[in-house]
Amino acid sequence: MKTIPKADGLAMSLHGRVALVTGGSRGIGSATVRLMRRAGARVVFSYQTARKRAETLAGECGGPEVCRAVQQELNSVENGATLVQTAIETFGQLDILVVNHGVWPAHEQPIGTMPTEQWRRTLGINLDSTFGLVRAAAAAMLGQTMVAGTVRGHIVLVASTAAQRGEAFHADYAASKGAMVSLTKSLSSELGPQGILCNCVAPGWVRTEMSAAALDDPEASKKALATIPLSRVAEVEEIAGPIVFLCTPWAGFVSGEIFNVNGGAVLVG
């Protein structure tokens, strides 16, 4: 009989790596920052206005030697690039970029009456700044030495189920997230051969401050749950886990993947 080796734990280590997580002061971002630190990475994360919350999180995750909060508005190509430069100046390198920030206007807005200002604001935050972040991060990673001869860095974009199915009355959001899915595939084809692995995590409904207004409304919540085979919304840690996994050596042969983490919702409705 073959002897089964004694279990000694399974490490998903990011020791020696530096990660930048956008929108890291709350929700999925905050959970990702915590898990990145548990895996051993040094982390820079951005926030927009929640200074006290961001500073508290950075302190809980080890303080300025290993975790820094940076106040940075993200609504343009230029300030996306600025944030990457700040992260590199903070810890001297950049190995992981997680683009998690974004805006989802909670009110339903028919496309026939959607204000131009809403469209431009949503795409500025969700897409323009993403381009600035990715362009600057890719340039920096390409200048770094490959780890173990195979990987220079990881880029993970956080999209949405809406990117693949669309979302009525939220065309601005769905369009911005759909672009991120296509961007992931383009980046994988271009950067994979050069040692930068690019993937996308696509959550469905997640219990966050951004979704609270909808999920706290009985009618809207019932409608949302009806589209999820698991009959519940996700907790933020359930999205952070796949994000971190995609940045570990265990995902070293995963590139261009749209990692659906939505309780099966993308398959129905």
* Predicted local confidence at residue 8, as pLDDT: 65
Q: Alpha-carbon distance 164 to 259, whole Å?
A: 12
* Predicted local confidence at residue 1, as pLDDT: 47
Marked catalytic residue, from 177, 188, 211, 255: 177
Specify whether 76 is catalytic. no
Q: Which residues of the chain have pLDDT under 70?
A: 1-9, 147-148, 210-217, 221, 224-226, 268-269
Marked catalytic residue, from 173, 188, 211, 255: 173
* Predicted local confidence at residue 215, as pLDDT: 62
Q: Alpha-carbon distance 23 to 83, whole Å?
A: 11
Taking only the tens place, the pLDDT of each residue in 6-53 is: 666 677 899 999 999 999 999 999 999 999 999 999 999 999 999 999
Compute CA distances 131 → 36, 125, 142, 217, 240, whole Å.
23, 10, 16, 34, 22
Specify whether 47 is catalytic. no
Q: Which of 13, 157, 35 is nearest to 43 (CA)?
A: 35
* Predicted local confidence at residue 124, as pLDDT: 97
Whether residue 179 contacts residue 188, with contact meaning beta carbons closer than 8 Å, is answered with: no
- Domains in the chain (CATH in brackets) are 18-208+236-262 (3.40.50.720)
Q: Alpha-carbon distance 199 to 191, whole Å?
A: 11
Q: What is the pTM of this model?
A: 0.91
* Predicted local confidence at residue 211, as pLDDT: 63
Specify whether 177 is catalytic. yes
Marked catalytic residue, from 160, 176, 188, 255: 160
Residue 253: alpha-carbon gap to chain centroid = 19
